[in-house]
Structure 1
Amino acid sequence: MSARRPSPRYDPTRRRLLAAALALPGALFLPTGARADLVATVPRIKPSIVAVGTYQRTRSPAFQFRGTGFVVGDGQLVATNAHVLPERLDTANMEALVIVLPGDGQTGTVRTASVAATDRGRDLAVLKLGAGPALPALRLAASGGVREGQEIAFTGFPIGNVLGMTPVTHRGIVSAITPIGIPQANARDLNPALVRRLANDVFRVYQLDATAYPGNSGSPLYDPASGAVLGVLNMVFVKGTKESVLSDPSGISYAIPVEHLHRLLGEVR
């Protein structure tokens, strides 16, 4: 007589496993690893995220959003990108540089700011807040130590003009640490500014396997577990036209390493 395998419904081991799965239906969907870390970290990051723009009472809308910033240092400083700042302010008509604390996402607290330091070569700026209480500051990681393949996250205001002042978090990995000036395929595509940068001022940035959008400029790039800031998001690779950033994002973004922000903060008095 040949041996027969027991029917699954009479297999006691299988029945115990099935009962355990039915008793804990959410067990298979619990976040693990970096995802679990991020769930705990995001609430600590969001109070430090601010919108950067200009404010003019007689204008509609009075606030014009330009990018994201985040609080650093003593709680009276905000880090962002240099390209987020306006080229000039219409001071004759009372236009002012401001940051907005998002609040409930519909309304927010407006505070004036001034430029404390800039490094346009590395696309960084530090703002000094006007009168008001200190805000919760993010901790900056030590220089170096970031590795390719490392999990990262960033929080900011993607398409803030449309989606409003609600901080949004994206995650991904550091896919490469690469020079900021990348030689073009054809020599005629090189411009004088790029040639000078390649020759005299090459520095490395983090290429990210993560999707960012207009408005994310100035967002803090941070470690999902500790929340320590690793860099400042500053640009997105565009596959076609600027409009395609929204309709067909490349999923490739870049961030300036935090060591350059450390250096710029050292210039703030």
Structure 2
Amino acid sequence: MTATPAWPRRRVLLAGAAVALAAWMPQRAAADLVRLLPQIKPSIVAVGTYQRTRSPAFRFLGTGFAVGDGRLVATNAHVVPETTANEQMEVLVVMSPGDEQTGMARQVVRVASDRGHDLALLRLQGGPPLPPLPLAATERVQEGQAVAFTGFPIGNVLGMTPVTHRGIIAAITPIGIPQANSRDLNPVLVRRLSSEVFRVYQLDATAYPGNSGSPLFDPETGDVIGVMNMVFVKSTKESVLTDPSGISYAIPIEHLRKLLANVQ
């Protein structure tokens, strides 16, 4: 009887190990996310305005999350209104999960804004700090890596329940793309193409209205790597499309780091 060579047997063993590893990795990632979500959710807030005489009193505008010392909330600049109806006692507020039922809202003020990257920082005006989320090092982000984001998709309809979605970084791409026809250019896109290259994360994940300002984080560590953004990015990235693409985007965390450095 001829003995089976060792090398084919080794190849079979290696192939079996690879299959087992491929099956184990998604389970490991899911387990990490299950472990992390109870730590992530207390940091997530709904951003909006509150007016006691209005029905409903709280008007939802987008998502935010606690950063820095826990008294700062990061969100998209387009989520924050330029003005509020002070004469009608309307104020800018954030609400944590469950606050909608109790009617509790915490007043905030805008302390910093980066219109060029559509980011804003709000400061809580009272009460205890929120648990801040850690910000990741920018060099860690790579195409193909797993990501998750938590926020309030269609929050004005579905309520203030944090919802988490998963996906991957599909591409790291410029926000402004040269167009083949000058008719497809608009003033915003022209400014994008004439300024420094601004790259955003294109995601293989579905975000919804209300997810703007949600933290995009590493599902293994919980470190925030970006801020979800739909309106601002699509205004240049997909300006020539007549129908929404369904693609989601996020602003890299390095821009929020710079904004934080000017506040703390």
Normalised by the shorter chain, which TM-score bucket? Answer: 0.7 to 0.9
Find out whether 1:49 has 2:7 as its counterpart.
no
Q: Please state whether the residue corresponding to 1:131 is helix, strand or coil.
A: coil
Deviation at 1:130, TM superposition (A): 0.7
CA distance in 2, matches of 1:104, 1:55: 13
Q: Please state whether the residue corresponding to 1:122 is helix, strand or coil.
A: coil
CA distance in 1, matches of 2:171, 2:153: 23
CA distance in 2, matches of 1:267, 1:59: 36
CA distance in 2, matches of 1:209, 1:169: 14
Deviation at 1:29, TM superposition (A): 11
Find out whether 1:151 has 2:146 as its counterpart.
yes
Q: Please state whether the residue corresponding to 1:139 is helix, strand or coil.
A: coil
AA partner of residue 264 (structure 1): L
Q: 2:80 aligns with which of 85, 95, 98?
A: 85
Find out whether 1:219 has 2:225 as its counterpart.
no
CA distance in 2, matches of 1:182, 1:85: 27
- Give the equivalent residue in structure 1 for 2:158: 163
Q: Please state whether the residue corresponding to 1:112 is helix, strand or coil.
A: strand
Distance 1:166 1:240, change over 3 A: farther
Q: Please state whether the residue corresponding to 1:212 is helix, strand or coil.
A: coil
| 1:245-264 equivalence runs, <5 A | 250-264=245-259
Contact 1:180-1:203 at 8 Å conserved across structures: yes
- Give the equivalent residue in structure 2 for 1:68: 63
Q: Please state whether the residue corresponding to 2:169 is helix, strand or coil.
A: strand
- Give the equivalent residue in structure 2 for 1:101: 96
Contact 1:106-1:164 at 8 Å conserved across structures: no
Distance 1:31 1:97, change over 3 A: same
Distance 1:128 1:263, change over 3 A: same
- Give the equivalent residue in structure 1 for 2:113: 118
Deviation at 1:186, TM superposition (A): 1.9
Cα deviation code 1:179-220 (max 9, x no counterpart): 111223422111133112211132111000000000000000
Contact 2:43-2:65 at 8 Å conserved across structures: yes
Distance 1:185 1:42, change over 3 A: farther
Which runs of no fewer than 5 residues in structure 1 stay unpaired? Answer: 1-27
Q: Please state whether the residue corresponding to 2:74 is helix, strand or coil.
A: strand
- Give the equivalent residue in structure 2 for 1:231: 226
CA distance in 2, matches of 1:49, 1:182: 33
Which runs of no fewer than 5 residues in structure 2 stay unpaired? Answer: 1-22
CA distance in 2, matches of 1:94, 1:34: 46
Larger Rg: 1
Deviation at 1:251, TM superposition (A): 4.1
* Structure with the bigger percentage of helix: 2
Deviation at 1:105, TM superposition (A): 6.4
Distance 1:134 1:104, change over 3 A: closer
Q: Please state whether the residue corresponding to 2:203 is helix, strand or coil.
A: strand
CA distance in 1, matches of 2:141, 2:24: 29
| 1:178-189 equivalence runs, <5 A | 178-189=173-184
Q: Please state whether the residue corresponding to 2:94 is helix, strand or coil.
A: strand
Query: Normalization by structure 1: what TM-score?
Result: 0.82
